[in-house]
Structures are given as structure tokens and as C-alpha cells.
Amino acid sequence: MQLWSRQIAAVLRLEMKKTFFSKRSWWIYCLAAMPVVITVLHWIIMSRVRNGFGDRHRLGDDSIIFAGLFQFFYLRAVIFFGCMGIFSNLFRGEMLEKTLHYYFLTPMRRELLVIGKYLAGLSVALVLFVGSTSLAFLTIARHFGSAWTDYLYHGPGMSQLGSYVLVATLACVGYGAVFLMCGLFFRNPMIPAAVVFVWENLNPFLPSVLKKISVIFYLRSLCPVEVPVPPPFSVMVIDADPTPMWLAVPGLLLLSMILLAYTAMSARQTEINYGE
């Protein structure tokens, strides 16, 4: 193994150990579990009351319910805040605990430290959020029994699951890069996080030019099921042409890489100042 890869591997493993198994991350686990809890409850409740709905409740309805849950709750709240908790703490948490200097005193390039920490955060985020996306999707319509199995294996189910996994992955990649940078630059990353949160949630109501300066716009373009916006919000929504997949995916990856490169270059200039 090359020197740089051994050093990245060491940071990755140490951070995984600290991030994955730390008590202070309990709320991120709860956050990741929430959609699964919701879909499991939906499955259980619908299994009991399904007879009362008769033919009115269709499998397609659950597909739209999941799409709504994914776009409005999962992407905008769970993954957003989960990534904020994981990535902004990678540097800011070390500064608060006054332990960042231990990393800076190792003979590794700061750029590699940024990459190692980012990969560690990304690994944790992917396991938690892609894992819970998949679990939530697989359980949302379990009450349809063999029809759901058929939908998954012979219908569009697996393709939709693949799309949701891709979107969740890209969300972790994109928001991860944003919040890693926030954690290095801002003493209180909650402030930029709040600004990004408002911006991302205003997205449907923004003019089409401004819409494109956000992560959620590209992620929504990749979602497999369109969610109709209910009135009265529907009248305020401004339509914009969705970005094609061939542009959205590399575009988001490129944006993330630019943010990471900037963070890495800035880490080289970062000084230890714990505010004492």
C-alpha cells in the first residue's frame, strides 16, 4: 500500500470507530430509524385496516406515499440533519473537544486528513441513510403480500429502489461535502446549516434560475416517482425543467468535489485555535 492510502485508511478506521460507536451520535441513529418506524407502522396499521379500504387503497398509492415521505421528510430533514450531525462534527467536534491538534501533529498531508474524515463520515452516512431508505422502501407496502413481492421483482420496484438508493447516496455525498466545509469554517455550523435548510426548502417556490443553485433540485430530478404538490402550495410552485440524469449525477459529484477540494486546501492553512 502507498503511504497516502495507509494514512487515509488509518484516519478512516479511527473516525469510523469514533463516529459509529459514540454515544453522542444517538440522535442520528434515531433520525435514520424514523422513516423505517413510520413505514413499519404504516405496514402494521394497513395490514389490520386494509379490509376497510377495500379496493380504494392501491399499491400505487403506497408508491406515492413513499415518494412523498422520501422527498419531503427523508431528503429534506433526515438526511439533511443527519449529514449535518455527522460531517460538521468531523472537524468542529475535534475543535470543541480540543483534539484536532493530535491529527495536525501527524506526518500526513492535511488534504489526506480531509479525505479520510470525509470518507469516514460518508461510510457512516451511507450505511445509516441508504440502509434505512432501503428498509423503509421494502416495508412500506408489505401488507400487499405477494402483490408487493411481485411489484418488487417483476415490476418497477427494484428500479425505484435503485433510484432512491442513488438519490440517498448523492444526498449524503453532496450534503456531506457542504457540512464538512461548514464544520471547518464556522465556529457554529448550525447557522450556515439553517441558511442551507431554508434555501433548500424554499426551492419549489424559487424562480427556475435560482432553483438550480441547490442540491435538492438535482436530487428531486432523479426521484423515480413524481409527487403532486397539494393546494394551496401548488399555485406558488414554479415549474422548471428537471435536470436529466446524465447531467444531475456528474453535476452533483463535481460540485461535491469542488467543495471538498476547497475544504482540503483550507485545512492546510487552518491553525489550531480553540478559543482560549
Partner 1 sequence: MSESLISFANVSRFYGEVLGINKVNLTIPPGVTSLVGPNGSGKTTLMNLMTGLIRPTQGEIKVLGISPEHPEQLCKFIGYCAQFDSCPKGLTGHQFIYWFLRMHAFTPEECQRRTATALERVSMTAAAHRPVGAYSKGMRQRIKLAQSIAHEPKVLVLDEPLNGLDPMARAETIALFREWGQNGRHVIVSSHILHEVDQISDQVILLSQGYVVAEGEIKGVRDEVKEQPMQILVRCNDPRELAARLFQQDHMVEAKISRDRKGLLLRTSDADSFYLLLNKVVLESGLEVESIAPADDDVNSVYQYLIGGDGGAV
State how far the Cα of 83 lies from the Cα of 68, in Å rounded to an integer: 20
Give the residue from 140, 21, 123, 128 showing the smallest Cα distance to 70. Answer: 140
Closest contact distance (angstroms) between CB of 190 and partner 1 is 21
Q: Which H helix or E strand runs over 66? A: helix 59-68
One symbol per residue from 121 to 160: x for binding partner 1 (CB under 8 A), - otherwise; what is it?
----------------------------------------
Instruction: Report residue 14 as a C-alpha cell.
Output: 479511527
Query: What phi and psi values does residue 231 have, to the nearest 5 degrees?
Result: -65, 150
Among 81, 104, 186, 197, binds partner 1 (CB under 8 A): 104
State how far the Cα of 246 lies from the Cα of 251, in Å rounded to an integer: 8
99 binds partner 1 (CB under 8 A): yes
187 binds partner 1 (CB under 8 A): no
Give the count of beta carbons closer than 10 Å to the beta carbon of residue 5. Answer: 10
Closest contact distance (angstroms) between CB of 173 and partner 1 is 24
27 binds partner 1 (CB under 8 A): no
Closest contact distance (angstroms) between CB of 110 and partner 1 is 7
State how far the Cα of 128 lies from the Cα of 136, in Å rounded to an integer: 12
110 binds partner 1 (CB under 8 A): yes
Helix (H/G/I), strand (E/B), else coil: 244: coil
98 binds partner 1 (CB under 8 A): yes
Closest contact distance (angstroms) between CB of 14 and partner 1 is 4
Among 38, 69, 79, 108, binds partner 1 (CB under 8 A): 108
Among 52, 107, 228, 230, binds partner 1 (CB under 8 A): 107
∠ CA 50-138-64, nearest 5°, is 65
State how far the Cα of 102 lies from the Cα of 228, in Å rounded to an integer: 51
179 binds partner 1 (CB under 8 A): no
* Residue numbers at the binding site for partner 1 (CB under 8 A): 3, 6-7, 10-11, 13-14, 17-18, 21-22, 94, 97-99, 101-110, 271-274
